[in-house]
Amino acid sequence: MLRYNELIAFDPVESVVQLREADDQSRAISLLKTYVISDNMAEKLMNDIFENIQFERMVDNKGMLIVGNYGSGKSHLMSVVSTIAELPGASKHLRNKQVAEKAKEIEGKFQVIRAEFGAVTMPLREIVCRQLEKGLANMGIDYTFPTADQVTNNKDMMYEMMELFHEEYPDKGLLLVIDELLDYLRGRKEQDLTLDLGFLREIGEVCNNTRFRFVSGVQEMLFDNPKFSFVADSLRRVKERFKETRIVREDIAFVVSERLLKKNDEQKALIREHLNKFKKLYSGLSEELETYVNLFPIHPAYLEMFERVHIGEKRVALQTITGEIKKLLSEEVPQDATGLISFDRYWTYIEEDSSLRSDDRVKLITDKVETLKGIIQSSVKRQYKAMATQMVNALAVFRLTTEDLKTPIGLSSYTLRDKLFLSQPSLLDFEDEAAGFLQTTIEAAMKDLRTAASFQYISLNNDNGQFYINIDESIPVDELIRQRGEGLKDSQLDSYYFDVLKQATEVSETTAYVFGYKIWLHEIPWIDRRVKREGYLFFGAPNERSTAQPERDFYIYMLQAFEEPNFKDEQKEDEVFFRLKKKNDTFVDLLRLYGGATEMYNDTTTNKKLYKPKMEEYKKKLVKWIKENFVDTYEIVYRGKSAGVLEHGMFLPSNPDTLVELVDSVSQDLLSQWFEVKYEEYPSFRKLEHSYLTKKNIATYVKDALDYLNGRKTNQGEAILDGLLLLDQRGNPTTQKSGYAKWVTDLLDSKGNGQVLNQSELIEVINTTQGTPDQRITRKFTMEPELLVVILGSLIQDGQIVVTVKGTQYEAMNFSEFIRLPIQDITYFDHIKKPTGLPVREVQALSDLFESIKIDFSNQEKVDFTIKQIIAGAKRATNRTVEMLANIRNKFQVWDGPLFTQEEIEEKTDRLSRLNEFLQGLQVYNTRAKMMNLKFNMERIKKEKENLKLLDTLDNLQKKINEFTKVADYLVKAKFITSPSKDWIDDVDVSLDNLSMALKNGEDCTSEIQELEHLKKTYIDYYLSLHQKMRLNATESKKKSELLQNKQCDALQVLSSKIELLPSGVFKEWQEKVNSLKVCYHVTADNLQHTPECQKCHFNPREEQLNEKPSLTELEEELNELLETWTDTLLTNFNDASVKESIELLEAEEKELMNEFIQRKAFTLPISIKLIHAINKVLKGIHREKVDVEQLKEVFGNGNPITIKEAKDNVDKLLRVIVGNNDQDRVRLTIGK
């Protein structure tokens, strides 16, 4: 069983960095060395922070705000930045090489002043000035800022200070770094804060004009912060001179994974293998496995929720996680659960933090949580207790993420499952639907808890399936409302029904078209043309409405639901009736409750707050009921036909936000044919995908269209021009395809030489029945005059007409002045006529050809400049064309040879040659005077535009070939390593052929590349599966090492090498099998994205026998069986009579070891070497030799005196005679009688 400390190299973060620590150089260097930089933070440092601080290049330098929660690394970051700016050579201590290289732009180039704000009431100006004076004095600069009442602006004194600073430090900048600015600003009164923000803005402006730089830390985004909405105007001006760089959750996660919880490859492999068991239980675990591995044992949701919690400012992320990990280090990782910590554990931290007890929000939730936990202990089923506790803690934390604690949002069952990794060990054995069963278990646990709590404290939002802690206490007013509602008459119910419709259709009494009548001007979308047509929405019947309003395009009648008056349906094309035909008890009850609540609200003077929420609740439910039941309950009458929505064959919006969307959708569906008849030739603005052209926005959209013609492109402007057919396929203005523009030019062409086309010939006025002017529309196409303005603007810009407005002529040369006119004034233009002079259309076409800037023909210098750009563009295109003429024959090679046939090469060469001739001829017209004699007409320019497109196509094609060759080459190499199947090889060949064809045909190749990427993924999955079969992972590698080092293996090693009787070859064969198992756990799907084989072990299935690796469990069993077999063999041999006799002849210690072995019938491990010697002795046999007494007498001289040496020699001779050729160890001597 692995422990957490075996899976992570824990490097705790014990304290929060203080900015002033960087004043100490050794501490500052330490902060540099320990700063962990994510890819996201690297981008911010290089592109935002360093770029804004440096002063070598001209950029729009601004003040900087570093945004981050308390404990998120904000002060550490500012310490790092200020240290780099202050100390030469500091960048070498950074871990990220790219950041270190970019840091050299500011390295050692600043004098730095660091300061922190406390709980003070001093104005910001005075604080900053004092800190600067103090810091400058430490640098040997004596400067005193004038008091606030002595200056008219603060920038002059800052400029003066910097001039004095540069006398002492001519080559350096001055960097002021201040921490915790937000706390200070929050404590300021409105008037004081306005002055502070004004000073802050001036600091930002000084940063742009001098080498002074200002960086401050704040805990929340300063701009767009609702807490400062009362000074939003001042903030907006500050925002223009400041940049905000935010430390986000991903930056903190990187620090957690790369410092607190750093892991080596083996540890990651072990974690990966552990988590793989749980993929089927949790959504996202498989897709984001590496994220979970890197952050283990912290669940990513912990950091996500931590960032969102609203409890003061001091949420020390890294220190909190450090505390959590310390508790786990010595514990074992559970085998039946992921072992990850999620945000439910954060509630314990909140409960234990005494500083939070005074927070009303925390106290309110804590009371509910304590009650719920008491219920869990006393009333929830045992199998659900732990899970219920986790869920309550998680819901408590989530409740603190909402500004309003009463907001009915929380966590769904599947969110609880995936964000907490709630576990049910028995589900690990499920093959299918394990995640679904776990979700069901969670829902059962939640149901048990809510039932035990009598459905108090935790509520379920049926609209989104989310559970949340409910802090409300209900007040019983329902009975009074119900009694009042039951007494309402039908006419009153109709009145309240219309009240509901008012909210649902977003109208009000104050905006009624005719006072006293429920009639409103209303627009409905004409979807086919992306415009809104104007008509009337009326609550009631036709005979109840006023006739004072002028005629419009339609009438929508919402008839009474309870007392409908009698009226005659004249079956008009422009009238639609909505009748609530089917009113069920639910609707009527709700309407009575709404009416009752409204009556009670109107009657009471002291308890209005009791009834207003009820009114709003019932009205909301009624609107919801009408929306949800619209299809089944409403009858729609159009031209005498009464039917439901489905019977009319209509399609409603899938998720409408309001009832008016449903009403509009049905109405436009019925009325669209009427609109087609009335406005048959009206333009279609199909590119207004998310909006419609309306009476309110038409002037704005038309202005956008005119700006688009003048080079300032917007989506709205493009949509209007597209609808009037005034754009080409690339989005460039053109009048060539527009029938609307042709209508104007045809009318103008029909005039005699020198004659003009008057406004009245294009626009007619429609009067009301009373004879007063009502509407102006174009004589053809029935368009608004504002749209005609766009057409005229396009023709002016294209050089085809001159328009006179209030006596002033507007042509291409002064087009910029034309678009600045009020749109309404232009609609009342005097007349139009044809232009004379420079061939504007051709020059504009040439400018478009080379993508030059939009020509302002009103400025002669800009026209001359544009002509220079055209000639420069022609020269560049000439060089590209000449180069491509050479490349077309020898490049464009793909993986299987040349992309083009010889015929295709010849055709492209011919077109490029003609383009080359045109481009070289164009270069003659290099002045305005020469351009007036341009010989190329529009037709020739259009042809060469197509040839220029060919040049671009070929350039892009070569880039695509270079890009797509990577995946193609990958698969070609992969085929020679292994292949999932024969079909896979065929699919690779076919897909590569398809890619070749797509490239040749100029297609985007997306589907072909997707197919190749799919084949690549199939290969990677297959290769990984083979690698897994043929290589040991980290867990198995650990087991292999343990197997080779266990006591049984050592015992067999000794037995096989020391006892000849035993077949050592069997054990060697076992060893070879174990040693043949190769270890590699480094390969991942990410690694294989770049190369088709493992770069660690270079596994190549075609070069290895693909026999599945033997099981380590089986090898362990073989080892144990072999030891048992050899033990039995030895014991069997010991039963032999001669061996038994040999055992009796052993020395006492050896004999005791042998008898113990025989008795236990097993070795005591590790095996004693003395026992091995004893076994060898008895197996080879022990000889007993008798020595006679007479022999001994003779050895000692038969009574004659002899020397010691002679005695020794005699003994040696006797022993040699007795032992003979026998092994001395196997001979035992006895004295014969």
pLDDT at residue 510, as a whole number: 54
Per-residue confidence band for 442, with pLDDT thresholds at 50, 70 and 90: very high
Q: How far is CA 527 from the centre of its chain?
A: 33
Nearest to 411 by CA among 422, 421, 398, 423: 398
Question: Strand pairing partners for 458?
Answer: 469
The verdict on 412 and 438 lying in the same domain is yes
829 or 992: which leads in pLDDT: 829
The verdict on 1126 and 1141 lying in the same domain is no
Does the residue 854 lie in any domain? no
Q: What is the pLDDT of residues 626-672, one digit of tens each?
A: 888 888 899 999 999 998 877 765 667 777 777 788 888 889 989 99
The verdict on 1098 and 993 lying in the same domain is yes
Instruction: Assess whether the previous peptide bond of 1063 is cis (omega < 30° from 0).
Output: no
pLDDT at residue 618, as a whole number: 92
Does the residue 579 lie in any domain? no
The average pLDDT across 438-461 equals 87
pLDDT at residue 474, as a whole number: 41
Q: Domain end: 643, 678, 713, which one?
A: 678
Does the residue 783 lie in any domain? yes
Phi-psi region of 516 (alpha: psi -120 to 50; beta: other; left: phi over 0): left
Q: What is the pLDDT of residues 29-72, one digit of tens each?
A: 988 998 888 888 999 999 999 999 999 888 889 999 998 876 67
pLDDT at residue 314, as a whole number: 45
The verdict on 771 and 880 lying in the same domain is no
pLDDT at residue 709, as a whole number: 92
Phi, psi angles (nearest 5°) of residue 552? -130, -160
Ranked by mean pLDDT, which of 295-309, 685-699, 894-908 comes out on top? 685-699
Per-residue confidence band for 780, with pLDDT thresholds at 50, 70 and 90: very high
pLDDT at residue 511, as a whole number: 57
Mean pLDDT of the chain: 86
Phi, psi angles (nearest 5°) of residue 794? -65, -40
Does the residue 110 lie in any domain? yes
The domain that holds 85 is classified in CATH as: 3.40.50.300
Q: What is the pLDDT of residues 78-98, one digit of tens each?
A: 999 999 999 999 999 998 999
Q: What is the pLDDT of residues 860-877, one digit of tens each?
A: 777 888 888 888 888 998
SS3 1034: helix
The verdict on 941 and 819 lying in the same domain is no
Cα distance between residue 1049 and residue 1039, in whole Å: 13
pLDDT at residue 884, as a whole number: 87
pLDDT at residue 844, as a whole number: 80
- State the residue range of the domain holding 109: 29-247
The verdict on 948 and 1023 lying in the same domain is no
pLDDT at residue 133, as a whole number: 94
The verdict on 646 and 720 lying in the same domain is no
Cα distance between residue 1187 and residue 255, in whole Å: 86
Cα distance between residue 556 and residue 569, in whole Å: 13
Per-residue confidence band for 476, with pLDDT thresholds at 50, 70 and 90: very low
Does the residue 964 lie in any domain? no
Q: What is the pLDDT of residues 941-970, one digit of tens each?
A: 888 888 888 888 888 888 888 788 888 888
Q: What is the pLDDT of residues 878-923, one digit of tens each?
A: 998 888 888 887 787 777 777 787 888 888 888 989 999 989 988 8
Q: Domain end: 836, 852, 881, which one?
A: 836
Q: pTM for the full model?
A: 0.51
1061 or 123: which leads in pLDDT: 123
Does the residue 16 lie in any domain? no
How many percent of the chain have pLDDT more than 70? 93
Task: Look at residue 857 and tell me whether its pLDDT is greater than 70.
Answer: no
Domains of the chain: total: 8
The verdict on 1146 and 1197 lying in the same domain is no
Per-residue confidence band for 475, with pLDDT thresholds at 50, 70 and 90: very low
1206 or 267: which leads in pLDDT: 267
Cα distance between residue 788 and residue 798, in whole Å: 15
Does the residue 20 lie in any domain? no
pLDDT at residue 230, as a whole number: 66
Does the residue 944 lie in any domain? yes
The verdict on 92 and 60 lying in the same domain is yes
Q: Return the beta strands (E) in 194-269 as ranges.
A: 212-218, 242-246, 261-262
The average pLDDT across 1067-1082 equals 89
Per-residue confidence band for 119, with pLDDT thresholds at 50, 70 and 90: low
Cα distance between residue 1000 and residue 906, in whole Å: 15
Task: Look at residue 312 and tell me whether its pLDDT is greater than 60.
Answer: no
The verdict on 377 and 322 lying in the same domain is yes
Q: Domain end: 817, 836, 855, which one?
A: 836
The verdict on 595 and 641 lying in the same domain is yes
Question: Which has the minimum average pLDDT: 648-652, 768-772, 1149-1153?
Answer: 648-652
User: Do residues 66 and 77 lie in contact, with contact meaning Cβ atoms separated by under 8 Å?
Assistant: yes
pLDDT at residue 795, as a whole number: 93
Cα distance between residue 603 and residue 617, in whole Å: 19
pLDDT at residue 833, as a whole number: 92
pLDDT at residue 1137, as a whole number: 77
The verdict on 426 and 307 lying in the same domain is yes
pLDDT at residue 227, as a whole number: 63
How many percent of the chain have pLDDT more than 90? 37
Q: What is the pLDDT of residues 977-989, one digit of tens each?
A: 999 999 999 998 8
Phi, psi angles (nearest 5°) of residue 854? -60, 135
CA atoms within 13 Å, Cβ hemisphere of 693: 33
Cα distance between residue 97 and residue 42, in whole Å: 10
∠ CA 726-731-734 to the nearest 5 degrees? 35
Cα distance between residue 778 and residue 764, in whole Å: 6
Structure tokens that stand for 960 in this block: 């695509």
Phi-psi region of 333 (alpha: psi -120 to 50; beta: other; left: phi over 0): beta
> At CB < 8 A and 24+ separation, what contacts does 610-617 make?
610/475, 610/477, 611/477, 611/481, 614/477, 614/478, 614/481
